[in-house]
Structure 1
C-alpha cells in the first residue's frame, strides 16, 4: 500500500470523522449518524472460487470498512479513497460488493448445513425464503486535482451500439457514488476537521487563496491533529510541508498549520530567490546592457528573483505586476528576456 492509502485509511478510521462525512455528504450536515453507531469491520472480503485443481481463496482488499447500526438494522459502509481517477471504478466496486454478498451467502449456507434445517429448493440454494443479506454501500472519496471524468455507472462503460432498446432494458446498471474533495461545495456542513482539510485542499492551486483561507480559520489550523496534517501533506503534493512538521508541533501534539504555511512560503521564497538569482545573474551577464536599459542592472536582477518566485507560487502577470509595483508589460518583458 502507498503512503496515501495508509494515511487516508488511518484518518477515516476515526468514527467521528466517518459519521461527519456521511452526514455532510448524504444528510446536508444534519447529525443523523453518530460515531457510536459504527462497529469496526475487517477490510477484506474473501470469495471462494472452485478451480479444477481445488479451492482457491481470493481476497479483495478495500480501504475503510465499518458496520453501521441504523434503527436496529446493520449495514456496511465502505470508503474507497482515490488520489487518481479509476476508469473502471463501477466494475471494481461491483466486484468488491459482490464479494461481500458472496461471503455472507456462504456463511448463511454453512450455518444451514450445520443445522440441517433446509429442504428442497432452499437446501439447494443454501438460503431460505426468509434469509436476508446485510446491505453494502460504497462511497468513493476522490482527492485528485483533475475533475472526475471517469464513469459513474456501469452503463457508461458498456458498448451499447446496435443493441435493440428492448435488450438494453434488461442489461443491469450499477451506479457509483463519488465525493470529489476539491469540488465539494458544502464544506460548512462538516463539524470535524474534515471541513478545514477539504477547504485547504480546495485552495492549494492559489497560494494567495490558501494563505487567506488558513488565516480565516486560524483557530482550527493552530492546533491541527497530526493525522489531518498528514492527509493534507500527502494529498496536496507539497514538498515544503513534508519537511516542516517537526518545527510546527504544538504542546498538545498537534500541528500549527499557520506556522507551517509561513514556513512553506519562506521555503518557497528561498527556492525562488535562489533560482531567480541563478537565472538573474546568468541572464544579467548575458543581457546586462539590455536589462540595465530597462530597469538598471542591479534592480533588474533583484526584481527578476522576485518575479520568478511569484511566478513559481502561481501568481499571474497581473498579480506579479501589482505585487512588484510595475506594469504587466514590464513583467512580460523581463520574463521574455529570461527565456530568449
Structure 2
C-alpha cells in the first residue's frame, strides 16, 4: 500500500521491483555513492571519499504533536542514506546525503524528497530535545518549549534523485512548478524546494565519473540508439573489462543480453557485443533460409499435393502447416 507520494506504508522490500533493488544495491557501494555525489555537487572533483561515508538508517521516523493531545507518527523509507565528512580548506563539513533511485518518472518527486528531508530535520530536533531534557541543560522556558537551545545547529541534508530511464525527465523539478498559481507575490513567500536530479540523457561528460557508474549511465543514454551504442562499446576501453555488477545493471536497464565472466569478476562487453551481433546475423541467415524453404513448399502445394512436398522437398508436418498459413496470407 502506498501513500499520496508513492512511498511505502509497509515493508518497502516486499514491493520493490527487480530494477529498484538492483539500482539500490549498485549505488549503496561507498565508491559508487561517493562518485555520484561528487559528480553532482563538485562536477566530478574527488572531494568526498568512500572511507568518509557511514551508513544511516534508511527508515526516516518522526513523531510530531497532533490534534487532541495525541502524537502523530510518520515513517518513510529511503533508498540509500549516508552520513558524510567533507574535508575542505576551511575544515570539515558534516552532512547527511541520500540518493533516491527512480526507474520511472515520478511526478511528485519534488514533494517526496522535500518530505524526506523535512522528516530528517524534524528527527534531528527531536533527538536534540531528548538529549537536552536528559541532561537538564535548558537555559530558559523558550529553549524548553523549542526543544533545542539557542545555539544548536542542524546537520544539512542533501537528497539526490538518480533517474535510471533512457528518456527525458518531464516531471516538475521545483515546488513552485507544482503549485496552482504563478503569482509573484504568493511565490515570493513560498520556499521553493528544488529537486536535485541526475538523468542520463542530460549528462554531457561521463568522464567526470570515476567508477563504473559512468559506463552504466552512458549505456542507458545510448540504449535507444543502436548505432550510438555500437560506437560507444567499440571506442570506450572501459567496456573491455567492466565489473560484473555494472554489466548486470546494464543488461537489466538496456535489455542487452550479456553473459558475465564469473571467473574473472569482469566482462569484456566489446567481445560480448560482437558475439551477440554474430548470433543475430546467423539467426537472420537461418530465418532467411527457413523462409525460402517454406515459400518453396507453398509453391509445390499450389500446383500439387502434400505428398509431392514430402516426396520432393522432404517437408515436415510443421513446415506444411507454415506453408498453408503463408498461402492463406
TM-score, normalised relative to structure 2: 0.75
Pairwise mapping of residues 240-279 of structure 1 onto structure 2 (< 5 A)? Answer: 240-241=257-258, 244-245=259-260, 249=261, 251-269=263-281
Once superposed, what is the RMSD of the aligned Cα atoms?
A: 2.8
Match of 2:38 among 8, 16, 23: 23
Change (3 A) 1:266 1:112: same
Structure 1: runs of 5 or more not aligned: 288-339
- 1:1-340 paired onto structure 2 within 5 Å: 1-49=16-64, 50=66, 57-70=73-86, 71-118=91-138, 119-160=140-181, 163=183, 165-218=184-237, 220-238=238-256, 240-241=257-258, 244-245=259-260, 249=261, 251-269=263-281
Q: What's the counterpart of residue 294 of structure 1?
A: none
Question: What displacement does 1:279 show?
Answer: 7.0
Task: Give, in angstroms, the shift of residue 87 of structure 1.
Answer: 0.7
Instruction: Give yes or no for contact 1:37–1:68 (8 Å, CA) kept in 2.
Output: yes
Deviations 1:293-313 (A, max 9, x none): xxxxxxxxxxxxxxxxxxxxx
d(CA) in 1 for partners of 2:103 and 2:186? 37
Deviation string 1:42-84 (CA, Å, 9 cap, x unpaired) is: 2121122557696564321111111111233310111111121
Q: Which segments of structure 1 move beyond 6 Å, counting only runs of 4 or more?
A: 274-287
Q: 1:208 to 1:54 in 2, by over 3 A?
A: same
**Distance of 1:54 and 1:285 partners within structure 2:** 81
Mapped to 2, the partners of 1:187 and 1:178 lie a distance apart of 15
The answer as to whether partners of 2:97 and 2:157 remain within 8 angstroms in 1 is: yes
In structure 2, the CA distance between the partners of 1:259 and 1:88, relative to structure 1 (3 Å rule), is same
Instruction: Normalising by structure 1, report the TM-score.
Output: 0.73
Contact 1:250 1:256 in 2 (8 A): no
How many correspondences in the alignment? Answer: 280
Contact 1:7 1:227 in 2 (8 A): no
